[in-house]
Each structure stands twice: as C-alpha cells, then as structure tokens.
C-alpha cells in the first residue's frame, strides 16, 4: 500500500501475488494493478501513442465523428452550468453562473444560433447521504427536495434552461455505466489500493502540502486518514497529451490564468485517479458495471452529465460540437484535468471551451454558512426586482476575477445605470413624444451630423457586443451599450427638443430628433434583452413595438419603427432606490441579526430539559431480563464496518451478539470483559448473523459510546435488577 502524496497523483500498488501485472486481465476479483507510479519514473509516453489509444475505439462511431466536424460549422451553441450539489440550498454563487449562462444563451438565440442550455443537480455521494440522514430522509427523498428547490429558484429567476439533469435519473446512470465499461474494457481503469487524507466534504484526498494548518482549505475541517481498495482511472498516461492540447489550443481553458493553473498541474505527474468507493461505506452512488461492490466516485459520475443529457435525447451530434462549460474557479481541477482526459479515454471529442469565472465575495469575505453571510438570490430578487439583480451580477463581475457583493453596490448600480441612464432616456423620450406629438412616432427628416453620430454609435454596438460576449467580456459589452445610452441622454441636452418645439419652423427637425431617440431605445432594448429580458420587453411595449422583431440583426438596422406608431408610456422601468433608507434598513437588519445570534447563544447556554419516555411500572421493568456476561471472543462483522460479533458466556450458556460498537472498541480489548446483556430479546438476524440479545452501552450527544460494566467482579449469569 502507498501513502498518498498527491490526491490526483494517486499511487496504487500491485497486489503482492501479482508481480507482473501490466498485462494481466483486469477484473473485479483479480485485484491487479500497474506498478505504483513514483514521481520521476512516470511513463511519459509520446502524445501520439495516447491519441492513437483514444482513437482506437471511440464512443462516437466513425460517421458521427464526421458529423461532428460538419456540425461544428453550423451556428449552434450548447452551454452548461455545473450541476449543483443537493446538500445546500441555492445561493448567490449558484445563481450567478446560472444567470450568466441564461444571459449568454439568450444572446445566442438573439443571434439566431441553434441553442441548448443545460443545468441540473449532482445527487450522489457521501455528503448527500449524510445530509439526508441528518434530515431523517432517504437520500432520494432528500435529493428530490433540494433539486426541486433549485428548479423553482431558477424558474422564479426567469432562467430559461432547456434541460435540467439529475444524476440519479436512470438516463444518466445508463450513460455513466456505458462510459465506465468502455474505459474499463480499454484497460484505462485498474484495481489498486490507496491510503491518504480525505476530506469528506470535498469527497477527495488531499496531500499534507495542500492542507492549511492540517485542515482542508475549502471547508476548514480536518481530513480523515483513509485506506481503501479502489479502481483507478489511468490519468497519468494522458498527461502529456493534455499538456500538448493546451499548447495547441491556448484558449481551450480561459481566461488564461486558469489555463496556466492547469498547465502548472500538468508539470508534475498527476498520477491516477481513484474513481470508485466501496459500496459498503458509500451505498449512495452508481455501482460499477463490472463490480457491484463499488460505486462510482461522484466526479466521474457528475462530469458525464454534460454528455448524458444529450445522449438521452439523441442530440449529441447536434450540440456536442458546440459545448461550452461555465464554472467557477473552485472546480477547475476536475473540469480542466479529469474531464478532458475522461473524454479522451472514452473517445468523445473534447469541449470547445472551459470558461472559468471568479468568486462572489460578500463584503470581501468568502461566503459560508459558518460566517452566516450566505446570500439567497430570491431575497435580492424580491427586494430589487429580477432584472435589476441579473443586471448587477453580470455588469459588476469582471469574468475570471473575484467580485465583491454588497447591497449598497447593487442599489448604486441600479440607480446610476438603470434608473438614471436607461430609465431616464425612456421617460424623457416618451414624455416629449407625448407633449409634442401626441405620443405618436413621427417620420424623420434628413439626418444632421449629430443624428448620424448617435445612429452610428448604436449601429456599431451589435458587432462589438457579439465580439465581447464571445471573449467573455460581459461587463464591457454591457458598459458599451450604457455608454451609447448616456450619449443619447447627452444628445437630448445638445439638441434641446424643448427649444425646437417652440418654433413651428423646427417641426421636422424635432421629428428627426424624436425618431432618432426611439430608434436608439429600440436598439438598446435588443442588446440588453439577454440581461434584462422582462424590462427590455416592457421597454419595447412602451415604445409601441412589443411585437416587432428583436433579433440581433434588427439591432444593426436603423429606422425599423414605422412612423405613426402609438407609444404607450407606463410606469418607470426601474424605480430609484432610496439609498438612505437602504442604509438604515441594512443597519436594522444587522442589529436584528446580532440580537438573534445573542439570543441563540443564551439559549444554547441553558441546558435543554431532558425528554423522558412514558412511565412504566416495576412489573413492566421486571419483564426485561438482564444478566452479567463474559466476552469470550470478538470479531468484526463480515458484512458491516460498524458491527462487532461477540461470543459471550453466561454460566452454562454461550450466546452470539451483534453490537454496533466497532468504531468504538477494538475486538481484542473486549475479550474477558464483563458486560450486561438483555437476554430475553427476540433474536434478530443482522446482515446475515443472528444476534441473541443486546449488550448495554451508554451514548452521549456526540455519539461517544461506553459499555456498561461492573464495578466489582461477579460471576457471569448474575442477574442485573
Ligand atoms: N457538484 C459540483 C459540480 C459538478 S459539475 C460536473 C459542485 N457543486 S457546487 O454546488 O458546489 O457548485 C459549485 C459552483 O457553484 C461553482 O463552480 C460556481 O458555478 C458556483 N459558485 C459557488 N459559489 C460561488 C461563489 N461564491 N461565487 C460564484 N460562483 C460560485 O461543485
């Protein structure tokens, strides 16, 4: 067995009886593995070999490979969010990625691309199993519940995904098993043993070096030392292939800083990846198709959702050539390292881009339950409105970098961009149209340079906007539109329509100015549509063109609003937020939270009253037979890692007792001990072993156990009363 030095350079050992394992068949009960991979003696096979390996038996048959190449030419777009764990309710971080992908896919639809948007939930693994237990639910009930919360949150945020995939769905599990079998048959999954420090929350092993003060850097908890016999995915074999790929396609992982991070990981051996967990310990997972005693490691299962969602609807040919993943930096390693290698090993083409964003910090601190600063998207949506919330998230994060979230920042952004610039432009334009032209859009006269200037500024936007979206510069794309909007406000100040309105001789000039303004608003509404879809629609409705086309091409044309169109002014698009009242409210909320925390602390300090069972009589109690027994033998239960099987003597009788104390007592320490047994309990069979009674033990709130023993030596079989 090998002590792990790097979780993703997992070293596995050959079974001792198999000194030349490389050519041996790999099977569930023939525990064979490659010789351990030691740093420095890594098989640096030329990339070509691996490429040939991977291409030998692609999951996509030959005609589909060609179709893949052809499909790439087509205007299509397939975007994914991570599938979120179901052990926590949706927060602003989950909402950001999902809203961003919603914005990006709406943009591609505007552009006329055949677009597909996938999101979903990641439902297997130890964490979900434990979270379910702590809620008194089965893992499936628990997953159903939280997956429902994600769906309804996305629905309420107006997110238009095309598919919501759950890893507990049969259609997903089927594909995972098929891919596993394929990779296993190709010899890229092998059996071996591993020992190391494991964070149960991350569900991965850590090296000592990666820990911070001995704790997992993500969850700040101490990892457990674990040894396990597992199946390993032979990632190391593909290391040079991936490194070369990242050089050939420098923007495969972007922005560049994240590509560099992955390249840095590839500079040293990456080892092999443990891709199974013993089913006895983690039953909540997809059993390996060739060995039902092991379930699939959550990451190998989860990453495949991006592919299985398409396979299950026969859409892989249509969309896979266009796949774009959006994730945050926290899951760069599985997506930048494991996933491309998994795809390669399975003979599936690699993704187009891995697009990696930074983290939303809350007042510059990491968001966490323990800090009590988790921000819920629906709270903000209720307070500020859906579109304003979306606008803030996309406008205020520079893709790739961290951003800081504060409520005053949302409010200021709404007031400046949405209320002042955009809202004002609409109000002033509709107000003047109402005052001077009965709310009817006039036909324009000849354009003067100032009108041409504004028109050109707007007509230049779609190209720049598309380029910036393609380059992940969402904040700048929006800012460019807002700059044009500000220009339009300045145009009003410069052309002074109120002066023109005073003189009938300037009527045509006034018509031109008003017409230019409504056109500018129409173009802005199209470009902003992906970000603020409901308000953009409302804006067009107020302009009187709610049914007019609003694809990207129509934002590159001028003069599409027919003269004579009746405008329909309504409520302001974005009401201003009273910053002083907001500051007061934030202060009040902070005070209330502080008081609640104090009250909770006080309540915790007072001991809770004990809960008692209903009273019984002495006769009821006398029905229970309790006797002293001596432990003669103790061994681990063959089928359960929490149970011990004890052989106890009680005078002339010997009994077998199954007891859930394996994690608290070593079998050898129990032999010879005098314990107390409930002797007249009906026998039960626990995992195949009959238990003839129950040993008494005390348990505290932390789950610590102590066996009930005697403080004086009495003969076994003595009665306890
Ligand atoms: N289940 C895995 C992903 C499997 S994908 C095959 C997982 N789930 S998660 O629920 O933890 O979600 C992580 C993702 O949530 C991040 O990559 C990011 O998209 C989003 N965010 C979580 N916290 C975030 C911030 N504080 N800021 C921005 N996005 C964040 O990992």
Distance 102 CA to ligand 1 centre (A): 16
Contact between 196 and 112 (Cβ < 8 Å)? no
pLDDT of amino acid 42: 27
Cβ-Cβ contacts under 8 Å for 56 (sequence gap 6 or more): 186, 347
Contact between 318 and 31 (Cβ < 8 Å)? no
For tokens 């601190």, what's the residue?
Answer: 365
Reported as a single tens digit per residue, the pLDDT across 653-703 is 999 999 999 989 999 999 999 999 999 999 988 888 999 999 999 988 778
For ligand 1, atom 15, the nearest C-alpha belongs to 94
SS3 214: coil
For the Cβ of 375 lying below 6 angstroms from any atom of ligand 1, the answer is: no
Q: What is the DSSP string of 225-248?
A: EEEEEEEEE--GGGHHHHHHHHHH
- Nearest atom, ligand 1, residue 360 CA: 27
- Nearest atom, ligand 1, residue 303 CA: 6
Strands 84-85 and 114-122: parallel
Nearest to 306 by CA among 175, 399, 204: 175
For the Cβ of 303 lying below 6 angstroms from any atom of ligand 1, the answer is: yes
Helix (H) or strand (E) holding 259: helix 256-267
CB burial string 318-340: b at 16+ within 10 A, e below:
bbbbbbbbbbbbebbbbbbbbbb
Distance 433 CA to ligand 1 centre (A): 48
Q: Which fold has domain 618-707?
A: OB fold (Dihydrolipoamide Acetyltransferase, E2P) (2.40.50)
For tokens 């406008």, what's the residue?
Answer: 395
Question: What are residue 43's phi and psi, to 5 degrees?
Answer: -70, 95
For ligand 1, atom 10, the nearest C-alpha belongs to 84
By most ligand atoms within 8 Å of CB, the mutation choice from 88, 97, 299, 393 for ligand 1 is: 97
Strands 76-80 and 114-122: parallel
Binning the chain into helix, strand and coil, the percentages to the nearest 5 are: 45, 20, 35
Strand order in the sheet with 291-296: 276-278, 291-296, 287-288
CATH code for the part of the protein at 407-556? 1.10.730.10
Burial degree of 212 (CB within 10 A; 0-12, 13-18, 19+): exposed
Nearest to 264 by CA among 336, 327, 331, 334: 336
Helix (H) or strand (E) holding 362: strand 360-362
CB atoms closer than 10 angstroms to residue 35? 15
CB atoms closer than 10 angstroms to residue 720? 16
For the Cβ of 93 lying below 6 angstroms from any atom of ligand 1, the answer is: yes
- The yes-or-no answer on residue 94 being catalytic is yes
> What whole-number distance in Å separates Cα of residue 288 and Cα of residue 275?
10
> What whole-number distance in Å separates Cα of residue 283 and Cα of residue 42?
34
CB atoms closer than 10 angstroms to residue 305? 25
Active-site residue among 12, 26, 91, 182? 91
Segments making up each domain of the chain, as ranges: 407-556, 618-707
For the Cβ of 367 lying below 6 angstroms from any atom of ligand 1, the answer is: yes
Helix (H) or strand (E) holding 274: strand 273-274
By most ligand atoms within 8 Å of CB, the mutation choice from 93, 100, 339 for ligand 1 is: 93
User: Token digits for 206?
Assistant: 């850590």
pLDDT of amino acid 13: 34
Q: Which regions in the chain score pLDDT beneath 70?
A: 1-74
- The yes-or-no answer on residue 68 being catalytic is no
Distance 532 CA to ligand 1 centre (A): 23
pLDDT of amino acid 536: 97
Question: What are residue 369's phi and psi, to 5 degrees?
Answer: -60, -40
> What whole-number distance in Å separates Cα of residue 442 and Cα of residue 450?
18
Distance 464 CA to ligand 1 centre (A): 30
For the Cβ of 82 lying below 6 angstroms from any atom of ligand 1, the answer is: yes
By most ligand atoms within 8 Å of CB, the mutation choice from 79, 80, 84, 219 for ligand 1 is: 84
For ligand 1, atom 2, the nearest C-alpha belongs to 84
Nearest to 35 by CA among 246, 206, 192: 192
Active-site residue among 68, 130, 137, 202? 202
- The yes-or-no answer on residue 523 being catalytic is no
- The yes-or-no answer on residue 219 being catalytic is yes
Dihedral angle of Cα 424, 429, 430, 433, to the nearest 10 degrees: 160
User: Token digits for 691?
Assistant: 């238990």
CB atoms closer than 10 angstroms to residue 182? 19
Question: What are residue 75's phi and psi, to 5 degrees?
Answer: -80, 90
Nearest to 23 by CA among 190, 219, 204, 222: 190
CB atoms closer than 10 angstroms to residue 538? 18
pLDDT of amino acid 594: 86
Q: Is the dihedral of CA 461, 463, 468, 470 positive or negative?
A: positive
HEC string for 301-361: HHHCHHHHHHHCCCCHHHHHHHEEEEEEHHHHHHHHHHHHHHHHHHCCCCCCEEEEECCEE
By most ligand atoms within 8 Å of CB, the mutation choice from 80, 92, 96 for ligand 1 is: 96
For the Cβ of 83 lying below 6 angstroms from any atom of ligand 1, the answer is: yes
687 Rama class: left (phi>0) / alpha (psi -120 to 50) / beta: left
pLDDT of amino acid 630: 96
For the Cβ of 403 lying below 6 angstroms from any atom of ligand 1, the answer is: no
For the Cβ of 360 lying below 6 angstroms from any atom of ligand 1, the answer is: yes
- Nearest atom, ligand 1, residue 306 CA: 6
Active-site residue among 369, 612, 613, 623? 369
Contact between 444 and 512 (Cβ < 8 Å)? yes
- The yes-or-no answer on residue 344 being catalytic is no
User: Token digits for 316?
Assistant: 């892989």
Q: What is the DSSP string of 670-709?
A: HTT-EEEEE-SSPPEEETTEEE-SEE-EEE-TT--EEE--
SS3 537: helix
């Amino acid at each position: 067995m090998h002590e792990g030095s790097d979780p993703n350079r997992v070293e596995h050992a050959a079974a001792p009886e198999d000194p030349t394992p490389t050519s041996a068949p790999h099977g569930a009960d023939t525990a064979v593995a490659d010789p351990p991979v030691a740093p420095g003696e890594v098989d640096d096979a030329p990339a070509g070999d691996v490429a040939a390996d991977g291409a030998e038996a692609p999951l996509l048959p030959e005609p589909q490979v060609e179709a893949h190449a052809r499909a790439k030419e087509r205007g299509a777009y397939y975007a994914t969010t991570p599938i979120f764990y179901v052990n926590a309710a949706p927060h602003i971080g989950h909402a950001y990625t999902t809203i961003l992908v919603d914005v990006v896919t709406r943009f591609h639809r505007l552009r006329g691309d055949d677009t597909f948007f996938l999101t979903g939930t990641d439902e297997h693994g130890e964490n979900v199993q434990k979270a379910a237990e702590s809620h008194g639910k089965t893992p499936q009930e628990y997953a159903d519940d939280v997956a429902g919360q994600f769906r309804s949150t996305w629905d309420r945020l107006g997110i238009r995904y095309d598919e919501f995939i759950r890893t507990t769905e049969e259609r997903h599990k089927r594909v995972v098993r098929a891919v596993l079998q394929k990779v296993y048959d190709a010899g890229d999954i092998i059996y071996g043993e591993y020992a190391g420090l494991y964070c149960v929350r991350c569900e991965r092993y850590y090296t000592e070096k990666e820990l911070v003060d001995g704790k997992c850097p993500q969850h700040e908890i101490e990892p457990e030392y674990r040894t396990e016999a597992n199946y390993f995915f032979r990632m190391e074999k593909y290391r040079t292939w991936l490194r070369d790929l990242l050089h050939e396609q420098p923007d495969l992982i972007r922005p560049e800083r994240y590509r560099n991070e992955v390249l840095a990981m590839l500079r040293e051996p990456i080892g092999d990846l443990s891709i199974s967990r013993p089913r006895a310990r983690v039953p909540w997972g997809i059993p390996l198709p060739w060995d039902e005693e092991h379930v699939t490691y959550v990451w190998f299962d989860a990453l495949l959702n991006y592919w299985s969602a398409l396979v299950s609807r026969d859409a892989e040919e249509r969309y896979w050539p266009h796949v774009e993943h959006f994730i945050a930096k926290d899951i760069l390693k599985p997506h930048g390292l494991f996933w491309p290698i998994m795809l390669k090993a399975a003979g599936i083409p690699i993704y187009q881009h891995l697009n990696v964003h930074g983290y939303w910090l809350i007042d510059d601190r990491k968001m966490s339950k323990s800090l009590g600063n988790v921000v819920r998207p629906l709270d903000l949506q209720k307070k500020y409105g859906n579109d304003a919330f979306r606008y803030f998230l996309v406008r205020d994060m520079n893709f790739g970098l961290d951003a800081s979230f504060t409520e005053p920042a949302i409010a200021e952004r709404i007031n400046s961009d949405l209320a002042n610039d955009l809202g004002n432009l609409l109000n002033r334009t509709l107000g003047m149209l109402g005052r001077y032209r009965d709310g009817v859009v006039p036909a324009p006269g000849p354009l003067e340079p100032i009108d041409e200037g504004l028109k050109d500024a707007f007509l230049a936007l779609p190209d720049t906007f598309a380029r910036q979206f393609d380059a992940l510069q969402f904040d700048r794309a929006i800012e460019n539109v807002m700059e044009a909007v500000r220009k339009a406000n300045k145009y009003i100040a410069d052309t002074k329509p109120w002066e023109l309105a005073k003189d009938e001789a300037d009527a045509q000039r006034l018509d031109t100015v008003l017409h230019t303004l409504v056109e500018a608003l129409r173009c802005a509404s199209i470009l902003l549509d992906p970000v603020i879809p409901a308000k953009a629609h409302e804006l067009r409705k107020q302009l009187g063109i709610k049914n007019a086309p609003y694809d990207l091409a129509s934002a590159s044309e001028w003069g599409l609003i027919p003269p004579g169109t009746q405008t329909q002014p309504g409520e302001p698009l974005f009401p201003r937020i009273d910053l002083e009242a907001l500051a007061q409210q934030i202060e009040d909320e902070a005070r209330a939270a502080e008081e609640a925390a104090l009250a909770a602390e006080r309540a915790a300090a007072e001991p809770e009253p004990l809960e008692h069972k209903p009273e019984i009589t002495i006769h009821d109690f006398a029905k229970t037979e309790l006797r002293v027994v001596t432990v003669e033998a103790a061994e681990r239960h063959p089928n359960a890692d929490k149970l011990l099987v004890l052989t106890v003597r009680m005078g002339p009788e010997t009994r077998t007792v199954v007891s859930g104390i394996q994690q608290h007592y070593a079998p050898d320490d129990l032999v010879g001990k005098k314990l107390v047994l409930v002797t007249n309990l009906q026998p039960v069979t626990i995992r195949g072993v009959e238990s003839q009674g129950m040993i008494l033990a005390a348990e505290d709130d932390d789950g610590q156990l102590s066996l009930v023993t005697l403080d004086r030596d009495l003969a076994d079989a003595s009665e306890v009363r």
